[in-house]
C-alpha cells in the first residue's frame, strides 16, 4: 500500500466527517427552530438524511476498497453497498426536484399553495421519494437485472452492468430529473425578473404622478423591493445547490454510460475512484452552501454551536426571525444558551412561511393592490 493510497484515504475520511457534522447540524437546526420548518427546509432536512446515509454506509467501504484494492465483505454486503449508493444519489436529485416544484408553486400560485401544501402531504411526498429511490436501487440489483451474475467481480465488488440497465437507471436517477429541475428553476427566475420590472414601473409611476412624497406608498414599495432582494438571494442559493449537484455527479453518469456501452473504454481505477468521490463530496457541500448563503441557516448554526457575533448578528438574525442577544465579544459561548427558541409567530395553515429566506416572491395580488393605490 503506497503513501498515495493512505493520503487518499485521509482525504476521504475528512470528506466523510465533514458530511456527517454538516448534515447533522442541518437536521438539528430544522428540528430545533420552528421558523426553519418550512416546506423547503423540511425537504432539505430529508436531503441531509440521504447525505448522512452516504457518509455512514457508503463512504467507509469506499475508503477501505481504495486502500486495499479488494472487497472483503461478500456478495450481499456488496449489493447493499451499491444499492445504498444508487438510492442516496437518486433521492438527492428527487429532493432537489421537489424543492424546485415547491418554490415554483409557492411563487406562481400562492393562495392555492397555502391551501394545498400541508405537513401530511409533505410527509407523503418525502416517503414517496424514498420508496421510489429504494425501488430503483435495491430491486434491480438484488434481482440481478443489471446483468449476468457471473459478471460480478468478487474481488472488487464491481458490477458489469448491461447497456439497457445502465441507460434506464441513469435516466431515472439523473438525466430525466435534471432538466426538469433546471426548467422549473428558470421559470422561478422569470417570475422574479417580471416582478422586479413591475416594481420599477410602479416606482416610476408613483414619481410621475406627483405622489413621490406619499410616505405610505413609498414605504410600501420599499418593503416590496427589499423582499424581492431577499428572494433573489434565496433563488441564487437554490441555483447554486442545483449547480453544484450537477457538476459533482455529471462526470460520474457520463462515465457510467460510456463504460456500459464501450467495453474498451474503461478508465483507470484512479480515474474511476476520483470521479466517484467527486459525486460523494457533494454531500459535504450542501451544509456549507446553506451556511454561507442562507441567512436563516447561518444564524441557526451559530446558535446551535453556542456562538453569536456582535450587533451585525442581531441585525441579520432579525431577518431570519432568530432571537439574538447583543454580545460584547466577537464570538461568545455562554454557559447557558437560552436562544434556542424563536419568537412566536402567528399560526399558519401550511409548513411554508412567508418570511422564509427561501424564494416566496411577491404575489400578483400584492402588485395589483400597489397598482390600484396609484389610481
289 grid coordinates: 452552501
- pLDDT recorded at residue 100: 87
Any idea which residue has 460584547 for its cell?
Answer: 328
Axis crossing angle, helix 163-170 with helix 119-142, rounded to the nearest 10 = 170
For residue 351, the SS3 value is coil
Please tell me the pTM assigned to this model.
0.78
Sign of CA dihedral 72, 73, 78, 84: negative
DSSP state of 234: H
Task: Pick the closest to residue 121 from 351, 346, 347 (CA basis).
Answer: 351
C-alpha 271/C-alpha 188 separation (Å) is: 37
- Which residue ranges of the chain lie beneath pLDDT 70? 1, 148-153, 203, 206-232, 234, 308-375
- Give the chain's length: 375
- In this prediction, residue 330 carries a pLDDT of 44
b/e sequence 26-44, b meaning 16+ C-beta within 10 Å = bebbbeebebbbbbbbbbb
CA distance 321 to 336: 21
290 contacts 297 by C-beta, under 8 angstroms = yes
3-state secondary structure of 186: helix
Backbone phi, psi, residue 268, to 5°: -60, 160
Domain at 3-374: CATH architecture: Up-down Bundle (1.20)
Q: How far apart are CA 309 and CA 302, in angstroms?
A: 8
Distance between CA atoms of residues 21 and 291, nearest Å: 13
Amino acid at each position: 500500500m503506497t503513501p498515495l493510497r493512505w493520503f487518499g484515504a485521509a482525504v476521504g475520511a475528512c470528506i466523510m466527517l465533514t458530511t456527517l457534522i454538516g448534515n447533522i447540524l442541518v437536521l438539528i437546526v430544522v428540528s430545533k427552530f420552528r421558523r426553519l420548518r418550512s416546506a423547503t427546509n423540511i425537504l432539505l432536512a430529508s436531503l441531509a438524511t440521504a447525505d448522512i446515509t452516504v457518509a455512514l454506509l457508503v463512504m467507509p467501504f469506499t475508503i477501505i476498497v481504495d486502500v486495499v484494492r479488494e472487497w472483503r465483505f461478500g456478495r450481499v454486503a456488496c449489493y447493499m453497498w451499491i444499492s445504498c449508493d444508487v438510492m442516496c444519489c437518486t433521492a438527492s436529485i428527487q429532493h432537489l426536484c421537489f424543492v424546485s416544484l415547491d418554490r415554483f408553486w409557492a411563487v406562481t400560485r400562492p393562495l392555492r399553495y397555502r391551501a394545498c401544501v400541508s405537513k401530511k402531504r409533505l410527509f407523503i411526498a418525502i416517503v414517496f421519494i424514498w420508496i421510489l429511490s429504494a425501488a430503483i436501487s435495491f430491486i434491480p440489483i438484488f434481482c440481478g437485472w443489471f446483468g449476468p451474475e457471473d459478471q460480478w467481480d468478487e474481488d472488487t465488488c464491481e458490477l458489469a452492468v448491461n447497456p439497457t440497465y445502465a441507460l434506464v437507471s441513469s435516466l431515472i436517477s439523473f438525466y430525466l430529473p435534471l432538466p426538469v429541475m433546471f426548467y422549473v428553476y428558470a421559470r422561478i427566475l422569470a417570475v422574479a425578473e417580471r416582478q422586479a420590472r413591475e416594481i420599477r414601473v410602479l416606482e416610476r409611476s408613483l414619481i410621475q404622478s406627483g405622489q413621490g412624497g406619499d410616505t405610505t406608498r413609498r414605504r410600501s414599495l420599499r418593503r416590496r423591493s427589499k423582499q424581492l432582494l431577499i428572494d433573489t438571494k434565496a433563488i441564487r442559493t437554490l441555483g447554486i445547490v442545483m449547480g453544484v449537484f450537477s457538476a459533482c455527479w455529471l462526470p460520474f453518469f457520463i462515465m457510467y454510460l460510456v463504460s456500459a456501452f464501450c467495453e474498451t473504454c474503461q478508465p483507470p481505477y484512479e480515474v474511476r475512484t476520483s470521479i466517484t468521490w467527486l459525486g460523494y463530496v457533494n454531500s459535504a457541500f450542501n451544509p456549507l452552501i446553506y451556511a454561507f448563503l442562507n441567512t436563516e441557516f447561518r444564524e441557526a448554526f451559530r446558535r446551535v454551536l453556542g456562538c453569536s457575533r456582535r450587533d451585525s448578528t442581531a441585525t441579520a438574525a432579525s431577518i431570519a426571525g432568530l432571537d439574538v442577544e447583543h454580545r460584547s465579544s466577537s464570538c461568545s459561548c455562554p454557559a447557558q444558551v437560552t436562544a434556542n427558541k424563536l419568537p412566536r409567530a402567528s399560526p399558519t395553515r401550511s409548513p411554508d412561511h412567508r418570511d422564509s429566506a427561501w424564494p416566496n416572491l411577491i404575489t400578483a395580488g400584492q402588485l395589483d393592490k400597489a397598482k390600484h393605490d396609484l389610481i
